[in-house]
Chain A
């Protein structure tokens, strides 16, 4: 029996002090720590774990924050199994050290016991504009501020955080924690100007007037399947559905003014983390939820733990199927799907799904959510002359995050396409270092 889920409080509860210390003691403090190689921001993992083992949580926090200003966030949403933990030497024999849970423990401990800020260099007199306040923008801003540059972050929404705020739901990443870590970035001297859409509220010429520019505009452009019936009422992009709930608190309608269709029967299409989040939110809004995915269950790109939680919360998985038409007069009444079979392995090494002729069937539904991916935000970047984009709109950058326009850098989803929080942060750190070097050489 699926357990009932109603509330939006955090699902995973984190470690106790005792368990954290016991877990830390499992770390072998390897001389050549493979875990660090698995971490896109290169946290000195054995050093911070050593401090946890010694119960020096303040010291542990300082070690982490030397490389990562958003540890409570990363400790919750990073795919550790394919990063630090996947690379941990113990993963081969038994279980890897629970690096993510330890990072989260340390970050939570510090937030509750008073945070200390890393050192900030003497002012350099240079002023950098950062566009977007997602993990990429926040990381670049924090790094640049620590190097002594004046930093102004422009964010178009009325709250900072990017996907951390409008996309990832409260039950995986409490917004109070996102706010607290953003406050720390601000405490380094970073100014965040909300309600500023760069390209419109701030013209491109004004933007290019800064000593350097960092673009962290993310991948917020939702893709639609392009099937019949997409304009029916009750059809959402995952972005819209999640934004209504996370940013606008539509789950608390009518206390909050923004509505969302809760649906009795919700069909979600997709198999990534975004699809899991949309499905789990829809469950919490009271619907029966079916997730339709075109490959096999073992091919689901979402993190295993998200899939497990979704199962436990009663999300039905319908794999090897794909929607081909949305049925209804003015609003969604059903979703016509076809069965898929796996044929030969494609270029990505995964079996290629093809539809089985004549296998159409219709799922009853009143809400249909598309979570099939999103691409880089085209608005601002299409306005900057000379800024080159590759296929699917990703910004062309070199290994240091330089774009094809002088003094303009980019990182995160805007450059890589939809990826992860920590990859956005890692690439932003690299770009910030390159900006700092360029500004100091001037």
Chain B
């Protein structure tokens, strides 16, 4: 069992939770994720490791479905059934020169840890965080603290630059030499934003979020096409060279369980607790 040490809401539908998971906290690096199973009947869901402190790890997530909504009800002192990690290959961090770290929406969760490691490796770090409106911006202070420069964008212009992260990135690429870019956010945002760096031939990493089960390379659920080859995002990634990724196939596979997700959500809202279906044998 893994104890919740702190849980707060950051914005509409976005929550942060600190959990005691020593084996994850001790070895986590930028770009890695963990898998949570909230309770005995729960699904295994991957979430990016957003920070660590002592024996605890922080994840930040958007409540979009059954599991994340359930997670959002957890409070300090509650326990989660399972946490495994850190999983995935850490970000390829070295001294590139000037790097840009971009977070879109809840994807901002991943950026402070990448920015921090990039800074420690000697890079000049520029952050760009973007959201639909100012109320959905998260981790502004943390990014402010760790980046050399920080840009903020909102789709509606309620704060910072009116527009998308890609607009700011484009401007930066025109003005100066950028050596490496990280983009984390929804698949469509990563697809669009990473296109901007193609003409400039700048190394660009994106963090892919396909559906996963084990997270250890055993099921093949997370397969993505990169450079025409099949890769398993959980072990070969989740970060890949953006210019090689087949985003359309990623987005299509993310929608595989749309109907089932709806059913799960409805079931969750109509049943306060699990009755157990009695057909599984054993303890369930």
Contacts and interface: CB of A to CB of B under 8 A. Distances in A.
Contacts of A7: 279
Contacts of B230: 224, 226, 230
A200 B264 contact: no
Given A175-B282, A231-B223, A243-B214, A249 B82 contact: no
Interface majority SS (helix, strand, loop, mixed), chain A: loop
19 contacts: A8-B280, A9-B281, A157-B214, A175-B281, A176-B282, A195-B84, A201-B24, A231-B225, A231-B249, A233-B253, A240-B221, A248-B44, A252-B284, A256-B41, A256-B42, A256-B43, A330-B252, A377-B217, A379-B216
Contact of B235 (A174, A195, A379): A379
Interface string A218-258: 00111010100011011011011001100011011111111
Interface of B: 23-24, 27, 32, 37, 41-44, 66-67, 81-87, 213-221, 223, 225, 230, 235, 249, 252-253, 255-257, 260-261, 263-264, 267-268, 274-277, 279-284
Interface in A179-216: 179, 194-197, 200-203
CB-CB nearest 5 A-B residue pairs: A259-B260, A240-B219, A220-B218, A257-B43, A254-B267
Most buried by B among A157, A201, A239: A201
Nearest to A157: B214
A222 B219 contact: yes
Nearest to B261: A259
Most buried by A among B82, B213, B267: B213
Given A233-B256, A243-B219, 18 more contacts: A158-B81, A158-B82, A175-B280, A179-B282, A196-B23, A197-B215, A200-B87, A203-B27, A220-B216, A233-B252, A234-B256, A237-B220, A239-B220, A240-B219, A248-B43, A255-B41, A256-B277, A258-B43
A255 B213 contact: no
A170 B282 CA distance: 10
Contact of B275 (A175, A196, A197, A255): A255
Interface of A: 7-9, 156-158, 166, 170, 174-176, 179, 194-197, 200-203, 220-222, 224, 226, 230-231, 233-234, 236-237, 239-240, 243-244, 248-249, 251-259, 261, 330-331, 377-379
Contacts of A200: 27, 32, 85-87
Contacts, number: 151
A135 B24 CA distance: 26
Contacts of A243: 213-214, 218-219
Contacts of B235: 379
Nearest to A240: B219
Given A158-B37, A221-B218, A231-B223, A197 B84 contact: yes
Contact of A254 (B219, B264, B279): B264
B280 to A, nearest CB: 5
A273 to B, nearest CB: 17
Nearest to A10: B281
B277 A255 contact: yes
B84 A201 contact: yes
Contacts of B277: 252, 255-256
A174 B66 CA distance: 29
A253 B282 contact: no
B279 A201 contact: no
Most buried by B among A170, A202, A233, A236: A233
A196 B27 CA distance: 12
A200 B32 CA distance: 10
Given A243-B213, A255-B275, A259-B257, A249 B284 contact: yes
A224 B219 CA distance: 11
A230 B257 CA distance: 17
Nearest to A180: B282
A7 B283 CA distance: 17
B250 to A, nearest CB: 9
Nearest to B43: A257
A237 B232 CA distance: 13
Contact of A8 (B43, B66, B214, B281): B281
Most buried by A among B43, B249, B283: B43
A202 B23 contact: yes
A158 B84 contact: yes
Nearest to B284: A249
B67 A257 contact: yes
Given A156-B216, A239-B219, A377-B217, A251 B279 contact: yes
A248 B82 CA distance: 13
A334 B217 CA distance: 27
A401 B118 CA distance: 43
Contact of B41 (A8, A174, A249): A249
Contacts of B281: 8-9, 170, 174-176
A40 to B, nearest CB: 25
A257 B213 contact: no
Contacts of A156: 84, 214, 216
A256 B278 CA distance: 11
Contacts of B43: 248, 256-258
A377 B256 contact: no
Most buried by B among A7, A176, A254, A330: A254
Contacts of B37: 158
B255 A233 contact: yes
Contacts of A195: 23, 82-84
A87 B42 CA distance: 46
